[in-house]
Amino acid sequence: MSTSFELDPATTELAARMSEFISTVVVPEEARSGMSLHHADEQLRQRLVASAKQFGVYGPHVPKEFGGHELSLRQLAVVFEEAGRSLLGPLAIQAQAPDEGNINLLDKVANSEQRQRFLAPLASGDIRSCIVMTEPGGAGSDPSALTTTASKTDRGWVVNGRKWFISGAHGATFGIVLARTSGKPGDRGGATMFLVDMDTPGLEELRVIDSLDEGYFGGHSELVFTDVEVDADRVLGEVDLGLKYAQVRLGPARMTHCMRWLGIAQRSQEIALERAVAREVFGSKLADLGMVQQMIADNEIDLEASRALLYRTCAELDSGATATRSTSITKTFVSEALGRVVDRSIQICGALGISHDTPLSRFYRELRPFRIYDGPSEVHRWAIARRAVGRFEASRTK
């Protein structure tokens, strides 16, 4: 398909304003926030959201009816990259995972009552949410392995099961819970989405899991559901179509992850460049050494290739296509390429790079899990190869 990377002046201006907001407001807050956001103060989030609204950059992805800019994915790519230059940037504009993806899902699937009850306060930044899908030893890379069940009652449903690595669950107001309503683990259908208040009796947060990354506000929680009662009107969409709705969310969410991490990787390259120009060793600047120049050049290549793939896939999704092949290719390449960028940036900075005097070591820890989250690279490669083989075999039968 033919793709234009040109953007309208309003989006370009918003991206520039976002850049100013991140550098003047968010980065100073980043320096004061400490290393971990897993147990960060809610007042920090509220203060950032208020500042973003005052700056006019809040909610680039939020529907206009809720005060947002309602940009397309292609437009969001440049704006979210600017926001992603700080780990706190997406939080300030309610574009962090999982809230950004949940806003998109609710906008497309929720009924009118659910839009007012759940989407409106989430879109305005008043509350946080989580997506409750992954299970220990069960649904994760393969959502059809879902074992959590929801049984029909006179009032609605009763949910039982165990979930883990539920990002943002700690302190969230509600969760979008995926539970099996028919069939058995391994079946492609039979899952339903439920809107569940996190303070519902029987829903217990066992722990916030210690993990390599510490940049998710609220961390990653392990939850247990014991006879959790859910009213019938809390079904999101239709019964047994939960996995279908998950696809509505997953493709675009994978791309917005790429957008945010591009900002971190670009900032890492700039930190490395500043060090390479200023640091002198063996009678010359680091930037004049061939091996360092190669790392700088390879960073530039990975950044630009990542943007090109991302922009093309966003345009494909904006056209209404499912873009499953493109999203798998883009997510796999970008997650690995940006990890290489941060790794090389640390290498260029040497001891400074692994210290906490720069944010590079923190960025490294945050980016490494991206090769696992939203589908491990190996699963995406399996899907890409399977489609390629299928296309080839189909072409030979014609």
Q: DSSP states of 169-199 as a string?
A: -TT-SEEEEEEE-SS-TT-SS-EEEEEEETT
Residue 159, strand partner residues: 150, 228
Please enumerate in sequence order all residues whose Cβ is within 8 A of that of 292, keeping only pairs 6 or more positions apart, or say none: 276, 286, 348
In this predicted structure, what is the pLDDT of residue 26?
A: 96
Q: What is the mean pLDDT of residues 67-89?
A: 97
In this predicted structure, what is the pLDDT of residue 38?
A: 80
Q: For 257-321, give the DSSP string.
A: HHHHHHHHHHHHHHHHHHHHHH-EETTEEGGGSHHHHHHHHHHHHHHHHHHHHHHHHHHHHHTT-
Cα–Cα distance, 249 to 317 (Å, whole number): 12
In this predicted structure, what is the pLDDT of residue 2?
A: 52
- Closest Cα partner for 386 from 325, 331, 336? 325
With residues binned 3-state (H G I as helix, E B as strand, rest as coil), the percentages for the chain, rounded to 5, are: 55, 15, 30
Q: What domains can be seen in the chain, in order of their start residue? A: 9-96 (1.10.540.10), 129-240 (2.40.110.10), 244-392 (1.20.140.10)
Cα–Cα distance, 9 to 351 (Å, whole number): 42
Global pTM value = 0.94
Structure tokens at 397: 């039968």
Cα–Cα distance, 267 to 96 (Å, whole number): 18
Half-sphere exposure for 212 (CA within 13 Å, toward CB): 12
pLDDT at 82 over 90: yes
* Residue 188, phi then psi, degrees to nearest 5: -75, -20
Q: What is the mean pLDDT of residues 267-272?
A: 98
In this predicted structure, what is the pLDDT of residue 186?
A: 87
Higher-pLDDT residue of 294, 38:
294
Helix (H, G, I), strand (E, B) or coil at 241: strand
Cα–Cα distance, 280 to 276 (Å, whole number): 8
Using pLDDT thresholds of 50, 70 and 90, give the confidence band for residue 77. Answer: very high
Do you find a cis peptide bond into 98, omega within 30 degrees of 0? Answer: yes
Is 158 in contact with 205 (CB distance < 8 Å)?
A: no
Lowest mean pLDDT, pick from 139-143, 182-186, 380-384: 139-143
**Mean of the per-residue pLDDT values of the chain:** 94
Residue 151, strand partner residues: 158
Q: What is the mean pLDDT of residues 65-69?
A: 96
pLDDT at 238 over 90: yes
In this predicted structure, what is the pLDDT of residue 379?
A: 95
In this predicted structure, what is the pLDDT of residue 39?
A: 77
Using pLDDT thresholds of 50, 70 and 90, give the confidence band for residue 35. Answer: low
In this predicted structure, what is the pLDDT of residue 37?
A: 81
- Closest Cα partner for 349 from 299, 283, 394? 299
Q: Is 156 exposed, middle or buried, given 0-12, 13-18 or 19+ CB atoms closer than 10 A?
A: middle
Structure tokens at 154: 């006179």
Helix (H, G, I), strand (E, B) or coil at 5: coil
378-385 contacts: CB < 8 A, separation 24 or more? 379/141, 380/328, 380/329, 380/331, 380/332, 381/332, 383/324, 383/328, 384/325, 384/328, 384/329, 384/332
Please enumerate in sequence order all residues whose Cβ is within 8 A of that of 83, keeping only pairs 6 or more positions apart, or say none: 18, 22, 57, 60, 89, 90, 92, 93, 95, 260, 263
**Longest Cα–Cα distance in the chain:** 80
Cα–Cα distance, 87 to 221 (Å, whole number): 19
Rg of the chain taking only CA atoms, in angstroms: 22
pLDDT at 376 over 90: yes
- Amino acid 320 reads G
In this predicted structure, what is the pLDDT of residue 4?
A: 61
User: CA 223, 225, 226 angle in degrees (round to 5)?
Assistant: 140
Structure tokens at 139: 């649904």
